[in-house]
């Protein structure tokens, strides 16, 4: 494997891990018998660990990049296997923390080694790998979860990491030099770029976590169906920088501003969906993907200096991005769960009305009502799966058509409730994206732009 590609794959894999588990969360939620608020920590724990270890990881990688790369990948691969073998929620969280700590070293060491291979293009390659990893992660995780299992999704990351490592084992590490005439953005500009990255990442948490939760838990699609639906986002993110070059939008600060507006528009679109038809999510996802690709690549180029401080600045972008995701998850998850509780009562009343009007004998209605009550009671803060309740009703084959129609009507009501429950969270996330325009505006002022 080409060494530059191998390093990009290693960095992209780690940064994909911040989102690859997203489509597996509903399955983990059910199998490990936890709640939506708790299962969010499968994402939070990794992102916190990665953010905390980013700066120390950069310091280690700066001194011994090859050794740091080898140790980081080996520990990361081992942590993937811990997650794959987890038989309880606490073990899974422990594995995720180890993944984040080791991943921080891998990401920093990959940049250090890239700087020795290609000083001019290293930051661009590294930033692009991160964008692709974060964007592709959810779809890849969804496909693996549906075709295999969520455990297999973790297990398969280990050999991929080791293959990437094999591509750089024979690399000869030379001293990194700074080319004459290199210039960096002023400190104030880099701080503004980091602030914008954090706010945009807080907004992105809604796209990575809440969208797929709504598709799977709210709209009852399988993980692989959800993966196909959200593929629009990574494709748009990957195409965004190329489209920017085609239209001549090479100035990174206006590009970042455009990205923030597109990201906010896409999230607002998800917050205002007219129905639970996945087709309505396509345009918002295109906007989110384009915004993500333009914003992250643009701000990273501003925030990362070119010279002795490159690895330090790059580690700070990791801190800003992943702490932003954590803040977004911690703020948006309670909003979603509260709205879900608010939707519960009117949804139950609508379902009861459908049940009373159904052309079914009273005895069947009573059995079904009892089974539905048990299902709803046991759902905690999740949208209930009505399938087991209908199976317990034992209506008989002669009433199968009436039961199917009633089930479809109730599922429609649940989908409506699920869509409404996520609406406020998406709109709040859009607000985070718009707030990112404030530090981006400061960047424009610092550059003296009109």
Domain ranges for the chain, please list them. 1-172, 339-420
**Model confidence at 448: pLDDT above 60:** no
What is the CB-side half-sphere exposure of residue 171 using CA atoms within 13 A? Answer: 30
Could you report the per-residue pLDDT of 139-183, keeping only the tens digit for each?
Answer: 777 788 878 888 888 898 899 888 888 877 767 666 555 544 445
Cβ atoms 37, 91 nearer than 8 A: no
Token pair for residue 301?
Answer: 């180029």
In this prediction, residue 261 carries a pLDDT of 93
CA 47 to chain CA mean position, Å = 10
What percentage of the chain has pLDDT greater than the value 70?
79
Cβ 423 vs Cβ 271: under 8 Å: yes
Which residues have a Cβ under 8 Å from the Cβ of 61 and sit 6 or more positions away?
Answer: 68, 69, 105, 108, 109, 111, 112, 311
Q: Using the 8-state DSSP alphabet, how is residue 206 labeled?
A: I
CB 11 within 8 A of CB 72: no
Whole-number pLDDT of residue 73: 92
Distances (CA, A) of 267 to 8, 24, 233, 262, 263: 29, 22, 12, 9, 6
Of 85-89, 172-176, 251-255, 270-274, the range with the lowest mean pLDDT is 172-176
Question: Rounded CA gap, 343 and 309, in Å?
Answer: 51
Residues 6 or more apart whose CB falls under 8 angstroms from that of 389 comprise 368, 371, 372, 374, 375
pLDDT in tens, 200-234: 888 887 777 778 778 877 777 877 888 788 888 87
- Residues 123 and 315 sit within 8 Å (Cβ to Cβ): no
Q: What is the pLDDT of residue 147?
A: 82
The CATH class for the domain spanning 1-172 reads mainly alpha
Which stretches of 206-309 are DSSP H helices? 211-213, 223-230, 232-246, 252-271, 282-303
Helix (H) or strand (E) holding 185: none
First-to-last alpha carbon distance for the chain, in angstroms, is 46
118: number of CA atoms within 13 Å, CB side?
Answer: 15
Q: Which long-range contacts (CB under 8 A, 24 or more apart) does 176-179 make?
A: 176/112, 176/115, 176/116, 176/119, 177/119, 178/306, 178/307, 178/308, 179/119, 179/120, 179/306
SS3 (DSSP) at 365: helix
Task: Check: CB of residue 164 under 8 Å from CB of residue 1.
Answer: yes
CB atoms closer than 10 angstroms to residue 402? 15
CB 212 within 8 A of CB 138: yes
Q: pTM to 2 decimals? A: 0.75
Under 8 Å between Cβ of 22 and 137: yes
- C-beta separation of 284 from 269 below 8 A: yes
Q: In 10 A of CB 273, how many CB atoms?
A: 18
Higher per-residue pLDDT: 434 or 23: 434
List pLDDT tens digits, range 321-369: 888 888 888 888 777 677 666 656 666 666 666 666 677 777 777 776 7
Give which of 299, 287, 267, 248 is closest to 427, Cα–Cα.
267
Structure tokens at 151: 């455990």
């Amino acid at each position: 494997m080409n060494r530059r590609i191998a390093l990009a794959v290693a960095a992209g894999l780690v940064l994909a891990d911040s989102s690859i588990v997203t489509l597996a969360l509903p399955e983990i939620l059910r199998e490990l018998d936890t709640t939506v608020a708790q299962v969010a920590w499968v994402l939070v724990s990794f992102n916190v660990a990665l953010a905390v270890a980013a700066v120390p990881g950069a310091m280690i990688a700066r001194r011994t990049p090859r050794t740091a790369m080898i140790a980081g990948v080996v520990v990361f691969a081992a942590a993937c296997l811990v997650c794959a073998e987890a038989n309880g929620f606490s073990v899974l969280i422990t594995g995720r923390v180890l993944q984040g700590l080791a991943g921080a070293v891998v990401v920093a060491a990959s940049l250090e080694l890239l700087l020795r291979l290609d000083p001019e293009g290293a930051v661009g390659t590294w930033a692009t790998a991160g964008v692709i990893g974060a964007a592709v992660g959810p779809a890849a995780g969804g496909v693996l979860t549906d075709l295999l299992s969520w455990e297999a999704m973790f297990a398969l990351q280990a050999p991929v990491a080791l293959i990437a490592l094999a591509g750089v084992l024979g690399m000869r590490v030379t001293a990194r030099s700074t080319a004459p005439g290199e210039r960096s953005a002023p400190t104030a500009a880099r701080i503004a770029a980091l602030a914008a990255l954090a706010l945009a990442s807080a907004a992105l948490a809604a796209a990575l976590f809440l969208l797929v939760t709504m598709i799977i838990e709210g709209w009852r699609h399988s993980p692989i169906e959800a993966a196909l639906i959200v593929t629009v986002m990574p494709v748009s993110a990957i195409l965004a920088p190329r489209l920017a070059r085609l239209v001549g939008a090479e100035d990174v600060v206006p590009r970042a501003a455009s990205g923030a507006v597109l990201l906010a528009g896409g999230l607002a679109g998800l917050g205002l969906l007219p129905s639970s038809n996945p087709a309505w999510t396509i345009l918002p996802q295109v906007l989110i993907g384009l915004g993500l690709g333009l914003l992250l690549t643009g701000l990273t180029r501003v925030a990362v200096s070119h010279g002795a401080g490159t690895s330090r600045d790059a580690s700070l972008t990791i801190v800003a991005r992943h702490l932003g995701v954590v803040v977004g998850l911690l703020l948006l998850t309670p909003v979603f769960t509260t709205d879900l509780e608010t939707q519960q009562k009117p949804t139950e009343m609508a379902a009861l009305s459908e049940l009373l009007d159904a052309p079914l004998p009273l005895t069947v209605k009573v059995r079904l009502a009892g089974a539905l009550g048990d299902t709803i009671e046991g759902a905690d803060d999740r949208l209930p799966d009505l399938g087991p309740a209908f199976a317990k009703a034992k209506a008989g084959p002669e009433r199968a058509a009436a039961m199917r129609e009633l089930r479809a009507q109730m599922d429609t009501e649940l989908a409506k409730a699920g869509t409404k429950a996520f609406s406020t969270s998406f709109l709040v996330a859009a607000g985070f994206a718009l707030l990112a325009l404030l530090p981006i505006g400061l960047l424009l002022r610092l550059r003296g732009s009109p």
